[in-house]
Structure 1
Amino acid sequence: MLAVQHAASAPDPLSVPSNAPEHCPGTESELAGKADACAGCANQEICASGVTRGPDPALPLVRERMSTVKRKILVLSGKGGVGKSTFTAQLGWAFAADEDTQTGIMDVDICGPSIPTILGLATEQVHSSSSGWSPVYVQDNLGVMSVGFMLPSSKDAVMWRGPKKNGLISQFLKDVDWGALDYLIVDTPPGTSDEHLSIVTYLRDSGIDGAVVITTPQEVALQDVRREIDFCRKVGIKVLGLVENMSGFVCPKCKGESQIFKPSTGGGRRLAQDMNVSFLGSVPLDPRIGKSADYGVSFLDEYPDSPATTAYLEIIDKIKQQLDVL
């Protein structure tokens, strides 16, 4: 009987723990901890107790804090090392180039927080005030929050289980004094795990305007991106488009371009067509992008003549256009 009831209504993917067994009914289900699929699950006892079915008390606080944020954008990648955090930083700098635009970057890559280094803030710390935690500011209209600001040393490993990660994400959303923002850009870790489910759950009522998905041309990266797009569709996030990073190498001297990661299955453009999402553009691999990230400076400002800068700006214009029509 339990199996029949479970099959009749699929669980909300946001209520399914990342370490759940196959066919988990979800923490909000009346069958939580009681279905056949729950046998042997580490969460069975707490799910069966009904504790997980109550509303999260943080949700109304998040909703209140996010009420002054106009646009919320996730930057996602199925695979690590594809340039997601670097793109997040360039997007933030591009938005903040307009002095009248207030921009925030929230780094929820808890175990690999690279945003502070990329933005030149590696030695900064978070301060608190009567209105909450204060973001660390790159410039007057570009604020940042990351667990990297809270570590005693950049060498310290963050070894946290899901609940502690989720708690920090909740604090970033409800306890940080973001103020009135035009854009809040959320840099996420690779994959589709605790951090992703948490950010989607906490922003469900406030609304996520869309996600930008980052890939590189080779099939091993595209496989994971397909799963990332599927995740977005299952949790109801609009995919603003796909960006292909490292699509070719640009020689700083002769400006010639050659392929490094050959798109054996058509690359990002073909994937976008197959998955029916917008292809925002390709960013060639310029070694000065990595140099800018290491030194914490804006690549767009330092190398305005690079083909990669042109590509970044065209992609960012397309993102703005998509957001304007929402």
Structure 2
Amino acid sequence: MSNVDRTPEEVECGATAPSAGVEVIEAREVPLGGPRAMTVRRTLPTHERSMIGAWCFADHYGPDEVDRSGGMNVPPHPHTGLQTVSWLFEGEIEHRDSAGVEAPVLPGELNLMSAGSGISHSEVSTPETTMLHGVQLWLALPDRVRNAHNGFQHYVPPVVELPDVRPDGPGGTVKVFIGELAGSSAEITTATPLLGAEIHLAPGARVAIAVNEEFEHGVLLDTERLLFDGVALTRGDLGYAGPGLGGLRLHNPTDRPARVILLGGAPFGEDIVMWWNFVGRSHEEIVGFREEWEARSVRFGEVSGWRDDQYLPAPPLPTTRLKPRTRSTR
């Protein structure tokens, strides 16, 4: 997915200092495009927190009736230095990229695209889609591989049972699409140690999940209400916990099923500059990426089925130098 903000924030991200306990990050709403734009809820990056491990961007959207919202119609746009992670709960999206990949994005199936030194792609909800609901996530690539070739991975994770902490409790299930959790290991290659999973909790369920103590974790709530280590989250919130947490305690206090996206990873040890759809290392590099995109450089290639005048133009750069963002010290 593209960051279609016409005035994208200037973001220089790095390893944010962990907070004590669970930190709650509230989403901000961002329209994707024109007057019938679909609205997404963005929790990464924010002023509170720029990254969770290598996860550097998180949009949560829907459920949206496509007839009302116009669905997803994101024309070809560029990426550098990152991987896109597409995960749907409902609907279908057609992905096309300049490496020649044409693939559907389907509920419960992971599509991971590696931009490497440069790629362009489009994302359009299919005519058959009536409801669209899911998340779009980005991973920052470390310096040693960020200029590697682009690539594409697809994976369908199995459903694994999660026991309740009480002998007669209802428990839940998990689909691990990146990394390892609850005895399930995703057949996906990432450049840094990471975790990504969709968790369902039955009404009233209480689960305790062992996790890697070296990871920081984020719990993104898709449904009404959840308690994360006793801290209340409401729909769209991202609960953050720093390294040192050996287990996650999740409680669904409602009489309806709950769904969360769990993100985790080793703290990312490199500073990155992220502006619009580019991840780089300096102001000058981002300026160069933008100029190459506007000139239709071979770096980004071409996406089949689109005219040159349909490609998404880059927004103007800020009038000041891209500068570091203030990082949390909590």
TM-score, structure 2 normalization: 0.30
Structure richer in strand, relative to its length: 2
- Please tell me whether Structure 1 or Structure 2 has the larger radius of gyration of its CA atoms: 1
Asked which structure has the greater RCO (Cα within 8 Å, sep 6+), the reply is 2
TM-score, structure 1 normalization: 0.30
